[in-house]
Structure 1
Amino acid sequence: MAKPIDYERKNRIISHVVANGHAKVNELAELLGVTTETIRKDLAYLQEKKILEKGHGVVTPSSSYLENPYAVKERKDVEAKTQIAHLAASLVPEQGVVFLDSGTTVAQLAKQLNLRNDLTIVTNSMIAAQVLQDTGNQLLVTGGELRQASFSYVGSWAIKALQQIKVDIAFMGCDGFHDGGPSIRSFRELDIKEAAITSAKRSVLLADSSKFQQTGMYLYAPFESFDVFIIERALNAEEKQYLPDSLNMLHP
């Protein structure tokens, strides 16, 4: 069996520790087919990012990375999210087919799209669907299993719905950044986000600058998967170093 590459290995470490509540270094090395030295380096990185904690001979999930309730997220950085949503709305083509991801920034975009009546809007977000319930646009909700922490639909039903649709533009959110791309705190949303990006002609990442100080547990796509990244301000040199030159940046 081929050894997993770096970010895949870290994601598998996180998944194993979260699923079991704890793990030992030798256990992880055997599971992933690498040396204990490699595992210790991975754990040092994940501890630095405050994803995992070490103690008493085992590693455990960091309490700071338990997912915030949706209502808490919704009240944070509202002005920044509104600015991002306004720019995002300007990218939506006439009579376009649009995918809206779950998340509070994308929910702000849903409010902007209520001003349109020529779109087909596809979403796995219960919040976005509620915002758009009286819209003049055609609204398609994926259905599936409701994940209450994010009020999003996940699972095979939602994924199959997306696989049967081609969208012009997908607007994606995140909980934070790994070095290589946006990340989320729940593995249950990985497949639905990957399906959305695959189904889209263009993918747009929406994230406010606070995400540079946060790291979700699971990388769901590299930055190269996105055509545009919209943020509320210009990035500094340190922030830019993580982004590919090909990524089109937009800010007010």
Structure 2
Amino acid sequence: MLPTERREKIIEKLEKEEFLELKYLHKSLDISMETLRRDVQQLVKEDLVSKEYGGIRIKKENNGESIIEKRLNKNLAMKQQIAEKALTQIEDGDCIFLDSGSTTLQISKELRKRKNLTIITNSIPVMMEILDQGHTIISIGGKVRASEQSITSYDFLFNFDRLNIDKAFICCSGISFEKGITDYNLEEIETRRKILNISNLKFLTADSSKCNQIVTVKICELTDIDTFITDNNLDNDFKVKMKKLSVNVL
């Protein structure tokens, strides 16, 4: 296993448990303590985890959310899988919405393989990525949220009722059968709700580490989306339950 893959697994475990003992990681990853200490040292250097007595804890913002720069390379292989699947759902000439998030940023990198798209987004990194791809870009106006490099203010969205959005690609931080689709920031959630209401097809794009997780605020019910696009590590039971709700899983 490559060092980056090991560190991704450590972060995945921490996102579920928040604190893990080093002796547990040593056994579960089947690596030497020396190798584990090097991985931990690198994660501390990247400001993703903090060391505590006997273990490590994932670092988060005061509201529990990690900023986008710290998430960009987390679960990167999974997000690239999602991006490749998402591209199969996008046709030349489509009008699409790309949410703010590290997963949709990976999708934006694939869009140079399509022609004449109209891309609506509230993500500054997505805008920068697609700027030279030859597509039409529409930015949602509003307040800039520095931590996520996004633009959020649903009061500015009323003119979007006039748009015919073919496909919306939405991100989240938690997916559960108890609470539906959840995230942290209320302003971004209101933007997502508005976009979902005016979009013909609704895609949830999230890696499998978000499954069975519940965070601060509910975006919508699972049944409000048409398709869940995720990586190849999704638990089969979760997939079966989603399909019972008539949600397509890619």
Structure-1-length-normalised TM-score: 0.69
The percent identity for this pair of structures is 27
Equivalent positions of 1:90-105 (< 5 A) are: 90-105=88-103
Q: Which amino acid aligns with 1:75?
A: N
Aligned 8 A contact 1:65 1:216 in 2: no
Equivalence for 2:226: 227
Equivalent positions of 1:120-131 (< 5 A) are: 120-131=118-129
Q: Which amino acid aligns with 1:149?
A: S
Equivalence for 1:116: 114
Q: Which amino acid aligns with 1:248?
A: N
Equivalence for 2:182: 183
Of 119, 133, 136, which aligns to 2:134?
136
Q: How big is each residue's C-alpha offset from its partner over 1:43-102, in whole Å with a ceiling of 9 and x where there is no partner? A: xxxxxxxxxxxxxxxxxxx98852101111112000000010011011012211011011
Q: Which amino acid aligns with 1:162?
A: F
Aligned 8 A contact 1:118 1:136 in 2: yes
Aligned 8 A contact 2:243 2:249 in 1: no
Alignment partners' CA distance in 2, 1:213 and 1:148:
28
Aligned length: 189
How big is the shift at 1:238? 4.6
Alignment partners' CA distance in 1, 2:160 and 2:99:
11
Structure-2-length-normalised TM-score: 0.70
Equivalence for 1:174: 172
Alignment partners' CA distance in 2, 1:156 and 1:233:
34
How big is the shift at 1:161? 4.1
How big is the shift at 1:233? 1.7
Equivalence for 1:195: 194
Name segments (4+ residues, structure 1) moved above 4 Å: 62-65
How big is the shift at 1:199? 1.3
Q: Which amino acid aligns with 1:133?
A: L
Alignment partners' CA distance in 2, 1:121 and 1:153:
15
Aligned 8 A contact 1:180 1:222 in 2: yes
Alignment partners' CA distance in 2, 1:215 and 1:156:
23
Alignment partners' CA distance in 1, 2:221 and 2:194:
14
Aligned 8 A contact 1:194 1:220 in 2: yes
Aligned 8 A contact 1:142 1:157 in 2: no
Q: Which amino acid aligns with 1:201?
A: N
Structure 2 counterpart SS, 1:114: helix
Q: Which amino acid aligns with 2:135?
A: N
Structure 2 unaligned regions, length at least 5: 1-59
Equivalence for 1:249: 249
Instruction: Between 177-186 and 166-175, report the one with greater CA deviation.
Output: 177-186
Alignment partners' CA distance in 1, 2:169 and 2:116:
17
Alignment partners' CA distance in 1, 2:182 and 2:241:
13
Equivalent positions of 1:3-18 (< 5 A) are: none
Alignment partners' CA distance in 2, 1:203 and 1:211:
18
Equivalent positions of 1:10-159 (< 5 A) are: 66-159=64-157
How big is the shift at 1:242? 5.4
Alignment partners' CA distance in 1, 2:77 and 2:233:
15
Alignment partners' CA distance in 1, 2:62 and 2:194:
29
How big is the shift at 1:117? 2.5
Structure 1 unaligned regions, length at least 5: 1-61
Aligned 8 A contact 2:124 2:151 in 1: yes
How big is the shift at 1:159? 2.1
Structure 1 counterpart SS, 2:211: helix
How big is the shift at 1:235? 3.4
Aligned 8 A contact 1:223 1:244 in 2: no
How big is the shift at 1:164? 3.0
How big is the shift at 1:236? 2.7
Alignment partners' CA distance in 2, 1:190 and 1:77:
23
